[in-house]
Every structure is written in structure tokens, then in C-alpha cells.
Amino acid sequence: MSGGATVHVVGAGLAGLSCAVRLVGRGVKVVVYEASSRAGGRCRSFHDRVLDRLIDNGNHILLAGNRAVNEYLAAIGATDALTTIRPACFPFLDLESGERWEIRPNTGRLPWWLLVPARRPPGLGLRDLMAVRALATLPHRWPLGVALHCSPAALRRFWEPLAVAVLNTPFAEGDARLLWEVMRETFLRGEEACRPRLAPHGLGAAFVAPAEAHLRARGGEIRFATPVRGIEFSGSRASGLGFDGEVAALGPADQVILAVPPRNARRLLPELQVPMRMRAIINGHFLIGEPRPEGGRFLGLIGGFAQWVFVRGDVASVTISAGDAIADLPNQEIAARMWNDVSRALGITDRALPPHRIVKEKTATIDQTPASVVFRPPAATRWCNVTMAGDWTDTGLPATVEGAIRSGFLAADRVTTSN
Ligand SMILES: Cc1cc2nc3c(=O)[nH]c(=O)nc-3n(C[C@H](O)[C@H](O)[C@H](O)COP(=O)(O)OP(=O)(O)OC[C@H]3O[C@@H](n4cnc5c(N)ncnc54)[C@H](O)[C@@H]3O)c2cc1C
């Protein structure tokens, strides 16, 4: 990029922040515009008045093999803001049968853990887990229900919970290739790459506040409550950004990164094709009274209403992915049904429903079916100084933190190498 040019980053979610972080690291002048009053987008913390606790909009789980996440945290000085569960362990409870088990991959690339019953869900054969190989060579984008053949036990105890958590889409409809990419970058690289990573002091303290401080310390600017309402074009370039009541002209070498969700992007670039269907994730946070022995950990739940429970301090938080069918239920009903599962999982069924907060993220991610993901756009647009970023763009990965950050890095690379 030529000196004196500015990169205008629209959206201060993790895609926009990671893009800005990489750019200021290269000495580029950056201004970030954020519509809301805070950064973080779909990955944020807030103080909840009912619980009087700092909670996250939703539980986020990262894996140690998420290389863009690692690079981002290192850049903003927040590597220690995530705790890593080592050795990698994914504990489960079947609420119907009462069985508990753990998935414990081994070190090294040869996955001998599949041969050890104590390291894999009960009732699963080796063939059930090796079904993943079929995903490696798919000729087309296929839904998992067509691409992956396994026993009912394997579906219930391994593939379904994994795929729904990763793709936020019902198992049978989920895009097989996207799940394969995650398996390839984590589970198939051995124990170290699939160590779960959690944010014990909240997502804001890990991903957002250090990035804001990092940007400001390097001359980057973040303007909150500043939605970009429109983009003006001239020839093949964007020539101005429209804000409430004014249009700011872009310099001849200025660049624009659009790091906003799909519908917002489409409002700014109407010719853009985007995946329009979104999927919900429902979270419930329960004040359980005292810190628990499983603090800082999580548990997968099978056969219930809740799918995952995370314990942080004296708050137990429940996640239900692909939760569209329940998103319109009254909060009280959702809370009661979640608590029924959580209290059983934690062995505190004698407790009445405690103070709680239900957070419905109705547009948590794009629908990740083959029919939707074909509309993910690449980073490049037909405008020579407009680049796309965001978890929903065509990163090759599912819409996750890793995908969002990778898209931000890619956008930064594109604008710093194209001029
Ligand atoms: C409940 C929940 C649980 C999740 N769990 C996980 C998990 O366990 N693991 C995982 O890896 N991922 C998880 N995710 C996904 C992850 O949070 C997202 O992939 C990631 O945060 C998306 O970042 P983004 O920057 O692409 O988009 P966003 O976070 O949506 O950021 C876009 C930003 O643009 C702003 N904006 C929009 N329009 C404009 C405009 N016109 N002008 C200026 N600003 C604008 C928005 O306010 C927002 O801040 C979860 C998501 C949710 C909601």
C-alpha cells in the first residue's frame, strides 16, 4: 500500500479486529467503524444484572490447533487469556442411560485412541470413527446425512454432537466438507491440536479488550456507534463511505474491508450474493451458588434438551446449537428445561431453578448446508478497493472464531500486497 493511504475496516467483530491488528502491525493507518457501542460482535462479554456476573453471549470453545486464533492472541498479547485443557479430553454424559465417557485422542498423528475403548464412546466400532475418511475425498458438496455412514450409536454419541457444535446446523443437513476441514486441522493431527481452549475470564478479556488496546497503542482508531450506511462508487472503485448525515470521501489509495454479517454486507453491496439463512444458538446461564469441582471445564450432554454445559466459577452455562426450533419458546420454558438437564449433570437435582439469563442469538451463524455455503463470497469483490471478511465468507472453514480471524488476516494480506 502507498504511504498515507488508510484502510477503513467496517465492523469490529473478530474478523474486523484481526484484520486491523495485522494491518497496524505492518504500519498501515487503520480506522475501524463499528455500528454498536462495543467491539466483539458475536463473541463478547457483558455484565448481567440478574446474575451480577460477567457472562459471555454464548459459550465459545476453541481448539489448540486453531492456528489463526493462536497467532491473533500472540499478536495482541493475550495468549494466556485462554486456558488449555491438557491432555485433550471431551467428557460426555448420556442423560437417558446415565453412562459417562470421555473422548481422549492420543499424541502423534497415528490415531490409536480409536482402538482403545476407554478413549472412545461406548458402543462404537473402529469403522464408525474411520467413517471420517469418506469425507476426505468427496467429489461434491454433500450433506453429512448422505456422505457419512455410521451406526446409530456412533451418530448419537460422536458424529451428531460434534457436527452440530461445529456447523450449528442439524447433522443430516450439515456440509460434509466443512466438517472434514475441522477434523483435518484438529482431530487428525493428534492430541495437541485438539486440546480444548476456554476463556476463563470471558471472551471480552481474551479476544476484544487486548485487541482494542493493541490497536490504539499503534495509532489505530475505532469509532463506535458509527454504522456505515452506504458506499459510493466511481468507476471500479469505492469512492466514499456514507455515515448518518455525511459522506466521507475515500483517498485514491484507500481501501475498504467489509467485515459485517451477510445481510449487512448485502445492504452495502447489493449485487453481492450471500448465504441468507441464519441459524440460532441458545445459551442459558445459571447462578449455581458456589464454585464447582468441575470449574473451568465442560461436559457434553446426550439425549436431553441441553447439549453442552460449561462451568465457570459459580455460573453453569448451557449451549444449544442449531436451536432454531426452540428460539421462539418463552425464556422461562427454555430455562426450566435446561435446568432439568444441568441439575442432573451436576448432581444437584434438589435445587430449584436458580437466577438465570437466557441469551438467544437467532443469527449466530450462517446455515452451513451445501445449499447455503455455495453463496459464501470470496475476499475479492468486483470493486478493486473493497475486500470482504467475516466468518461467513468463503474461508473453507465453518463459521467459527478461527474462520473469522483467518478471513481478517486474509483481507489484511490482500490489501497490503495488492497495491
Ligand atoms: C452463541 C454463539 C456461540 C458460538 N460458539 C462458538 C464456538 O464455540 N467456537 C467458535 O469458534 N465460534 C463460535 N461462535 C461463532 C463466532 O462467534 C463467530 O464466528 C465470530 O464471532 C464471527 O465474527 P465476525 O467478525 O465474522 O462477525 P461479527 O461478530 O458478527 O462482527 C460483525 C460486526 O460488524 C458490525 N456491523 C454490522 N453492520 C455494520 C455497519 N453497517 N457498520 C459498522 N459496523 C457494522 C456488527 O455490529 C458486529 O460488531 C459462536 C457464535 C455465537 C453467536
Over the range 69-93, which residues count as b (16 or more CB within 10 Å of their CB) and which as e?
bbbbbebbebbebbbebeebbbebb
Pocket test for ligand 1, best of 319, 400, 402 (most atoms within 8 A of CB): 400
- At 295 the pLDDT is 65
What residues in the chain have per-residue pLDDT under 50? none
- At 419 the pLDDT is 53
Ligand 1, atom 42, lies closest to the CA of: 227
**CA 43 to ligand 1 center in whole angstroms:** 6
What is d(CA 204, CA 209) in angstroms, rounded to the nearest whole number? Answer: 6
- At 103 the pLDDT is 94
Ligand 1, atom 4, lies closest to the CA of: 60
Taking a C-beta distance cutoff of 8 angstroms, is the pair 182, 397 a contact?
yes
Residue 47, CA distances (Å) to 54, 77, 195, 212, 313 in order: 4, 24, 28, 19, 15
**CA 400 to ligand 1 center in whole angstroms:** 9
Which atom number of ligand 1 is nearest to the Cα of residue 261? 30
- What are the extents of the domains in the chain? 6-45+202-276+372-418, 90-194
Which atom number of ligand 1 is nearest to the Cα of residue 57? 1
Q: pLDDT for 106-116, tens place per residue?
A: 998 777 887 88
**CA 401 to ligand 1 center in whole angstroms:** 8
Its pTM stands at 0.97
Pocket test for ligand 1, best of 185, 401, 406 (most atoms within 8 A of CB): 401
- At 418 the pLDDT is 67
Taking a C-beta distance cutoff of 8 angstroms, is the pair 59, 319 a contact?
yes
Q: What's domain 6-45+202-276+372-418's superfamily in CATH?
A: FAD/NAD(P)-binding domain (3.50.50.60)
